[in-house]
Structure 1
Amino acid sequence: MEHFETERLILKPADQEDAAFFLELYNMPKFIQFIGDRHLRTEEDAAAYIQNRFRPQFDKLGFGNYVVILRENQTKIGAVGIFARDGLDVLDIGFSFLAAYEGKGYAYESAWHLKTTIGEKFGHTRISAITTKDNYPSQKLIEKLGLTFRKLVILPDETEELLYYETE
């Protein structure tokens, strides 16, 4: 599987060696508040999540969830991905970053690069994004990526209405 690079970042396909990182990332209070509790309590839980949720996306689509790594020191700082998501007809872009790396442009840089690359390499130029009504930083980033609010949606097996954005 291919990795991608920007001026400051490496986007590496998520794999088993990233279990400890995803355990930390997915248990951040803001992740649980805005994205949801994925019930990862151990590295084994995280490894199984990677195997069962991330790997099938790569096998099916050729792309999926990437660990975002700083080029300068190889530090894992977040994740960005484009997914086929139940309840959405259009591929969905998502991102999450450790708190220490928010507000530095890394989310935009990695998400823009992935969105552009997937469009060029795979022809997927129509992308969607979802976020909670109170996640204003994500709303701002989604709009900066060129997506426009279209409607409210409720995903299967969920109860919360989410804001749905899509490219033109």
Structure 2
Amino acid sequence: MTEYKTFETERLIIKPTFEEDAEFIFELLNSPNWLKYIGNRNVTSIESAREYIKLKMLPQFERLGFGNYTVIRKSDQAKMGVCGFYDRDGLDGLDIGFAFLQKYEGKGYGFESANKLKQVAFTEFGITEIVAITTQDNTASQKLLEKLGLTLIGTTKIPNDNEELLLYKISK
């Protein structure tokens, strides 16, 4: 297996998501805010979470060298959320995304992990433009994107989804 880089901040370890993270991914993908703001991925068991990682997350790492990262708190090794870059159909540019279990929201972990990955995108991954999408009612996500320096540039729809999403962008 190819070795992909792990990143650290003062409080966090940001490591590539692998199959051994299936139990956590199962919990996150079925959490209320994931289902409300991101949508049901039909991950109904730990085994299907393992398949989701294998089929939806790892191929992008193999293709681009980066993708979905599990965010872990250094103090107790708690897996709290995910953050990463996603090559999505219907979007020009790489989409920065993040999601955390509810008990870890509002503590700055989303900003800390996304800001680190934004820096790495521009300095190590060779990315020159980052985009982001969010639902119009997800004000927490909107505030975080703006804090990261992304600017609202309009709305968009992604394939197989009728919802009008807010579209943000930042360039190097």
Matched residue type, 2:139: Y
State the distance in 2 between where 1:89 and 1:57 align: 16
Partner residue of 2:164?
161
Matched residue type, 2:37: F
Partner residue of 1:93?
96
State the distance in 1 between where 2:125 and 2:50 align: 27
CA positional deviation for 1:123: 1.6
1:139 equivalent to 2:142? Answer yes
Helix, strand or coil at the partner of 1:163: strand
CA positional deviation for 1:162: 0.3
Matched residue type, 1:3: T
| Structure 2 counterpart of 1:82, from 80, 85, 93 | 85
1:27 equivalent to 2:30? Answer yes
| Structure 2 counterpart of 1:129, from 132, 148, 152 | 132
Identical pairs, percent: 52
Partner residue of 1:43?
46
State the distance in 2 between where 1:125 and 1:67 align: 23
CA positional deviation for 1:125: 2.8
Residues 9-30 of structure 1: per-residue CA shift (max 9 Å, x gap): 0001000000010110010111
State the distance in 2 between where 1:54 and 1:118 align: 18
State the distance in 2 between where 1:113 and 1:6 align: 7
State the distance in 2 between where 1:144 and 1:79 align: 18
State the distance in 2 between where 1:41 and 1:55 align: 19
Matched residue type, 1:29: P
Long gaps (5+) in structure 2: none
1:14 equivalent to 2:14? Answer no
Helix, strand or coil at the partner of 1:46: helix
Helix, strand or coil at the partner of 1:167: strand
Helix, strand or coil at the partner of 1:103: coil
Partner residue of 1:55?
58
Matched residue type, 1:36: G
CA positional deviation for 1:118: 1.6
Q: CA RMSD in A?
A: 0.7
The two structures have a TM-score, normalised by structure 2, of 0.96
| Structure 1 counterpart of 2:154, from 151, 155, 159 | 151
- Aligned residue pairs total 168
